[in-house]
Structure 1
Amino acid sequence: MFSTAAIVISLLCLMFFAYRGYSVLLLAPLMATLAVLLSGDIAMMMPIYTETFMSALGGYLLKFFPIFLLGALFGQLMADSGAASTIANWITRVLGERHAILTVVLACALLTYGGVSLFVVAFAIYPIARELFRAADIPKRLIPATIALGSFTFTMTALPGTPAIQNAIPIPYYGTNAFAAPGLGIIAAIIMFSVVWWWLNNRASKAKAAGEGYGAHNEDGEVSLDPVESTGAARDAMPFWLAIAPLVLVIGVNALFTYGIFPNVDLSYLNNEFPDLEVANQTGLWAIIIALLVSCAWLIVTCLNRWHNLQDTLNRGATGSMLPIFNTASEVGYGAVIASLAGFMIIRDTVLGIAPGNPLISEAVAMTTLAGITGSSSGGLSIALETLGSDYLQLAQQAGISPELMHRVAVIAAGGFDTLPHCGAVITLLSICRLTHRQSYLNIAMVTIAIPMLAVISIITLGTLFGSF
Structure 2
Amino acid sequence: MGLIGILLGLALLIWLAYRGWSVLLLTPAAALIAAIFAGEPLLAHWTQTFMGGAAGFLAQFFPIFLLGALFGKLMEDSGSVQSIARFMGEKLGARHAVLAVVLAGAMVTYGGVSLFVAFFVLAPMAQALFRDANIPRYLMPAAIALGTSTFTMSALPGTPAVQNAIPMPFFGTTPFAAPGLGTIAALIMLVFGLWWLGRGVASARRRGIGFDGALIMSAEQAADDPLVRERATVAQAFDPAEIHHGQVSTDLPPVWISILPLIVVVAVNLAMTLLVLPNLDLAYLAEDRWGPTSPAAVGGVWSVIVALLAAILVLLGLNRKRLPNLRESVDAGVNASVLPVISVASLVGFGSVVAALPAFELVREWVLGVGGGPLVSLAVSTNILSALTGSASGGLTIALEALGSTYLQLAGELGIDPALMHRVAVIGAGTLDSLPHNGAVVTLLAVCGTTHKDSYLDIVMVAIVGAIVALAAVIVLGTMFGSF
Give yes or no for the alignment of 1:36 onto 2:35.
Answer: yes
* Alignment of structure 1 residues 312-351 onto 2, 5 Å: 312-351=328-367
The residue that corresponds to 2:388 in the other structure is 373
| Consecutive unaligned residues in structure 2, runs of 5 or more | 222-242
Q: How big is each residue's C-alpha offset from its partner over 1:303-339, in whole Å with a ceiling of 9 and x where there is no partner?
A: 1111120000000000000111011100000000111
1:30: Cα distance to partner?
A: 1.2
Query: Are 1:74 and 1:292, in contact at CA under 8 Å, matched by a contact in 2?
Result: yes
Residue 103 and residue 340 in structure 1: after superposition, are their counterparts in 2 closer, same or farther (change >3 A)?
Answer: same
Residue aligning to 1:93: 90
Write the mapping of 1:71-150 to structure 2, written as runs, cut at 5 A: 71-150=68-147
> What is the aligned counterpart of 2:309 among 293, 300, 304?
293
Decide whether the 8 Å contact of 2:28 with 2:46 is kept in 1.
yes
* Mapped partners of 2:277, 2:400: distance in 1: 25
Which deviations, in whole Å up to 9, do the C-alpha atoms of 1:262-303 show, x marking residues without a partner? 112222144356361212211111111000011111111221
CA offset at residue 219 of structure 1?
Answer: 4.4
The equivalent of 1:438 in structure 2 is: 453
* Aligned counterpart, 2:408: 393
Q: Verify: 1:245 aligned to 2:260, yes or no.
A: yes
- Cα distance in structure 1, aligned partners of 2:85 and 2:267: 21
Deviations 1:40-69 (A, max 9, x none): 33xx11111011001111111000010000
Whole-Å separation in 1 of the counterparts to 2:93 and 2:246: 25
| CA shift in 2, pair 1:3/1:266, >3 Å | same
Identify the residue that residue 417 of structure 2 maps to in structure 1. Answer: 402
Any conservation in 2 of the 1:20–1:422 contact (CA below 8 Å)? no
**How far apart are residue 223 of structure 1 and its match?**
6.1
* Structure 1 residues 341 and 221: alpha-carbon distance in aligned structure 2, compared to 1, 3 A threshold: closer
Checking the alignment, whether the CA contact within 8 Å between 2:247 and 2:329 is kept in structure 1 is no
Q: Residue in 1 aligned with 2:269?
A: 254
Q: Distance in 2 between matches of 1:176 and 1:116?
A: 23
CA contact (8 A) 1:139 1:204 kept: yes
Alignment correspondent of 1:19: 18
Change (3 A) 1:222 1:394: closer
* Partner SS for 1:22: coil
Shift of 1:374: 0.4
Amino acid at match of 1:90: F
Deviates more, 1:438-447 or 1:120-129: 438-447
CA-to-aligned-CA distance 1:88-108 (integer Å, 9 cap, x gap)? 111111100100000000000
Match of 1:457 in 2: 472
Q: Deviations over 1:374-404 (max 9, x none)?
A: 0000000110011110000001111110000
Cα distance in 2 between the residues matched to 1:126 and 1:308: 25
The CA distance in 1 between the partners of 2:461 and 2:342, in whole Å, is 29
The match for 1:162 is 159
Amino acid at match of 1:363: L
Residue among 166, 170, 175 paired with 1:178: 175
**Total equivalences in the alignment:** 462
Matched, 1:210 2:207: yes
Distance in 2 (alpha carbons) for counterparts of 1:419 and 1:251: 26
Q: Is the 8 A contact 1:246 1:299 kept in 2?
A: yes
- Partners in 2 of 1:146 and 1:305 — Cα distance? 33
Kindly tell me: are residues 121 and 218 of structure 1, through their superposed partners in 2, closer, same or farther at Cα, counting changes over 3 Å?
closer
Q: Percent identity?
A: 49
Tell me the amino acid that sits aligned with residue 208 of structure 1. Answer: R
Aligned to 1:302: 318
CA distance, structure 1, for counterparts of residue 209 and residue 245 of structure 2: 32
Letter in 2 for 1:430: L
Moved over 4 A (4+): 217-224, 228-231
The DSSP-based 3-state class of the residue aligned with 1:321 is helix
> What is the letter of the counterpart of residue 38 of structure 1?
F
Separation of aligned partners in 2, 1:423 and 1:376: 7
> Which one of 285, 299, 308 corresponds to residue 283 of structure 1?
299
Q: 1:442 to 1:240 in 2, by over 3 A?
A: same
Q: Which amino acid aligns with 1:236?
A: D
Normalising by structure 2, we get a TM-score of 0.93
Aligned letter for 1:5?
I
Whole-angstrom distance in 1 between the partners of 2:317 and 2:409: 46
Alignment CA distance shift 1:21-1:220 (3 Å) = closer
Change in CA separation of 1:241 and 1:24 when aligned onto 2, cut-off 3 Å: same
> Quick one: distance in 2 between partners of 1:255 and 1:191?
23
Q: Could you say which residue in structure 1 is the equivalent of 2:247?
A: 232
| CA 1:229–1:50: 2 relative to 1, 3 Å | closer
Q: Which residue in the other structure is 2:370 paired with?
A: 354
Q: How many angstroms apart in 2 are the aligned matches of 1:436 and 1:298?
A: 39
Amino acid across the alignment from 1:321 = S
Deviation track 1:409-458 (CA, whole Å, cap 9, x = no partner) reads 00000001101111111111111112111111111111111110111111
CA contact under 8 A between 2:102 and 2:144: conserved in structure 1?
yes
| 3-state SS of 2:283 partner | coil
> TM-score scaled to structure 1, two decimals?
0.96
Q: For residue 229 of structure 1, report the CA deviation from its aligned partner.
A: 11
Distance 1:236 1:260 in 2: 37
Aligned-residue Cα RMSD (Å) equals 1.7
